[in-house]
Amino acid sequence: HLDPFGTAVNYLDAAFRNVRNLGIISVTSTDTSSLYAKSPNVTLRHYGCHIVRTEYYKELAARMVVATVARAAARCNKGIEVLLAVALEHFVLVVVRVLRGPVQADESAKKLRKLMHCQWCEERVFLKLGNMVDGKRKIADESGNFVKKLKSDAALDHPPFYYSIHRHSIRGMNMPKLNKFLQYLTEAGFRVSRTHFDPTGVRTDATLLQFKSVLTKYSVPTCTNASATQTSVSMEKTV
């Protein structure tokens, strides 16, 4: 159980060199300023990642730790199976089972992906191995279809990352309750779930544009007086 002051990166090599096959390593990291993108220079030094602060920063932190752990394991010809990944306010905890052997090491190493985040449209996609795209401009210009394609290419068991319903709420409109909204997204054909990383987060395979269009459809104008109330009630019925 690694629980050092701050980052655990300096202890990973020793831990993975010594652990037995099927042993379990638990890594607690309290360097939240670098993990949560408040000191990106330190993030780059310790985790080899260029990051910016995003709405899904906690999941990104957990994934950076997992990736760093997987690389340390691979250097000792070991792979990992992630048993638990948690990111709370003051720490990130990752627990993995160690799988000995070069084949397992290769399999874990091959799962590591580069993530591309567009600061303009806030979309995010994993790149396939060897897949290069002309980042910002292409995502921003053709966001809808281009991102949809990259996302369906990825088609992972669990859609990575999440959108915060609060962050994307529409000004002057009341949004639906989170559980209702999850139901509307499901009815629109998307996979959804909630996430411990953010109580307002929605994990889904919808693109941000699709997410926003469903959110808009089921939001109603904020009522300020009696006649406005009347309007929103009748709108809800037509919806």
Ligand X SMILES: *[C@@H]1O[C@H](CO)[C@@H](O)[C@H](O)[C@H]1NC(C)=O
User: Does 235 engage in binding with ligand X (CB under 6 A)?
Assistant: no
Going by C-alpha positions, the residue among 37, 59, 48 that lies closest to residue 9 is 48
User: Does 41 engage in binding with ligand X (CB under 6 A)?
Assistant: yes
CB of 39 to ligand X, least distance (A): 7
CB of 173 to ligand X, least distance (A): 14
Stretch that binds ligand X, among 99-107, 141-149, 157-165, 224-232 (CB under 6 A): 224-232
- d(CA 208, CA 195) in angstroms, rounded, equals 17
Binding residues with ligand X: total (CB under 6 A): 5
Residue type, 50: H
Check if the beta carbon of residue 124 is closer than 8 Å to that of residue 56: yes
CB of 43 to ligand X, least distance (A): 10
- d(CA 21, CA 39) in angstroms, rounded, equals 36
H-only helix segments in the chain: 12-18, 32-35, 40-47, 57-75, 102-110, 135-141, 143-154, 178-187, 208-217, 226-238
CB of 57 to ligand X, least distance (A): 18
Side-chain-side CA neighbours of residue 96 (13 Å)? 30
Q: Annotate each residue in 170-209 with x if it binds ligand X (CB under 6 A) or - if it does not, as one string.
A: ----------------------------------------
Q: Which is nearer to ligand X, 23 or 40 (CB)?
A: 40
User: Does 227 engage in binding with ligand X (CB under 6 A)?
Assistant: yes
Residue 148, judged by CB atoms within 10 A of its CB (0-12, 13-18, 19+), counts as middle
Q: Which is nearer to ligand X, 179 or 227 (CB)?
A: 227
* CB burial string 42-51: b at 16+ within 10 A, e below: ebeebbebeb
User: Does 238 engage in binding with ligand X (CB under 6 A)?
Assistant: no
Among 132, 155, 189, 224, binds ligand X (CB under 6 A): 224
CB of 34 to ligand X, least distance (A): 11
Binding residues vs ligand X (CB under 6 A): 41, 224-225, 227-228
